[in-house]
Amino acid sequence: MKKILYLLVVSSLAFACSDNQAAQKSAKDRNEPPAKGEVIPVKLAVAQVREISEPINAAGLVASENEARLSFKTGGIIRKIYVEEGQSVQAGQLLASLDLTEINAQAKQASEGLAKAERDLERITRLYADSVATLEQLQNVTTAYNIARQNVEIAKFNQSYSEIRATSAGKIIRKLMNEGELVGPGTPVLFLQAAGSQSYVIRVGVADKDRVRLQIGDPAVVRFDAYPGQEWSGKVSNLAQAADPSNSLYQVEIKLTAGNIPALVTGLFATVTITPTINQSFVAIPIDAIIEGRGNEAFVFVPKNGKAKKLPVKVAFIRNTEAFIASGLQGNQKIITSGSAYLTENANISINP
């Protein structure tokens, strides 16, 4: 009977210990905070300063390298557009025209003004010859005549540019406005791709902090939504010298350089990863040291007097198994890697080799 009771007690203790270990393990699996006074074993790593290039990610559209944005020199109502998207055109072909009612009236007004100026000049010239008009009066009407003549030239020039003609043979790839719409001077109406042009670029916009790190020839990786799972090599072929007023971004052109270049058409959506040749200094740490990451904000733990201290850091980017820190850590600073998931602020730690 005593032997049976002894076996029952031993069995109960064994099950209790087993349940306690399982409970501790499940608590760690759930990342629950350690019990008060518990010592957490951790491992350390040393933050290292690296000179490395932070990649620039951007998105944009495919465009023809030889693409002309055709517009009217003057504003007005579009009377007629003679072409459709995808239509082939010849150099000099009439593509669109404005309603000339107002423009012709301005030209007529300029002609009438010139005729009056001519009459005034003739009259004052005769009076000046008879010593009736002064030299100042003659000079004034001469100036008025010259201005009137220039106004006529301006009016004729505006008349001639109240229509759009193809600058070269090619294809209309985009029509931005329709007949009857009011268009301003210089506003693009038609996009023309030159004939025989098979050269395409990807145009993306980057912020000023990224623009200053880019140079012509910087390598890039290009991906198209139309070709999922595939990548192509490219390089920076052109950099804008001024920001786009509409979005304050700088336009960057990427040209595909090698490999089996896919069939491209204007307007394809692309994502681009550019690797600048200009390096920057970052603090590199193992990625498993990062906790509570949200966007580029995160935290790490560092050892201090046998306890864990929580530090906020700003992550610049992640590459492979390393996180590159923009601010919050210094080079050669020790950080906690293994065991950091179970730590809280001021938790007791023991450092394992």
What pLDDT is attached to residue 17?
38
CA distance 65 to 170: 13
Q: Which CATH number fits domain 101-161: 3.40.50.1360, 3.40.190.10, 1.10.287.470, 3.40.50.1980?
A: 1.10.287.470
What pLDDT is attached to residue 65?
75
Burial group, residue 82, by CB count within 10 angstroms (0-12, 13-18, 19+): middle
CA distance 21 to 23: 5
CA distance 20 to 15: 9
Q: What is the DSSP string of 279-333?
A: -EEEEEEEGGG-EEEETTEEEEEEEETTEEEEEEEEEEEEETTEEEEEES--TT-
Q: Which fold has domain 34-52+280-352?
A: 2.40.420
CA distance 119 to 352: 105
CA distance 140 to 145: 9
Sheet (strand 94-98) strand order: 163-165, 94-98, 76-81, 182-183
What angle in degrees, to the nearest 10, is found between the helix axes of 135-160 and 101-129? 160
Q: What is the DSSP string of 15-75?
A: HHHHHHHHHHHHHHHTTPPPPTTPEEEEEEEE-EEEEEPPPEEEEEEEEETTEEEEE-SS-
3-state secondary structure of 251: strand
**Spatial contact of 92 and 165, defined as CB atoms under 8 Å apart:** yes
Q: Tell me the pLDDT of the chain (353 aa) as tens digits.
A: 333 333 333 343 333 334 334 433 434 444 455 555 678 888 888 888 888 888 899 999 988 777 788 998 888 899 999 999 888 889 889 999 998 888 888 889 999 999 999 999 999 998 888 888 888 988 999 999 999 999 999 988 888 888 888 888 888 888 888 988 998 888 899 988 876 556 788 999 999 888 888 989 999 999 999 899 888 999 999 999 988 888 889 999 999 886 677 777 778 899 999 999 888 888 898 988 888 878 788 998 888 888 889 889 988 888 888 888 888 888 888 888 887 777 888 888 888 87
Q: What is the CA radius of gyration of the chain?
A: 38
Q: What is the pTM of this model?
A: 0.53
Sequence ranges of the domains in the chain: 34-52+280-352, 56-67+198-274, 101-161
Q: What share of the chain is helix, strand, coil (3-state, %, to 5)?
A: 25, 40, 35
**Spatial contact of 115 and 103, defined as CB atoms under 8 Å apart:** no
Q: Which fold has domain 56-67+198-274?
A: Elongation Factor Tu (Ef-tu); domain 3 (2.40.30)
- Through-space distance between the first and last CA atoms of the chain, rounded to whole angstroms: 51
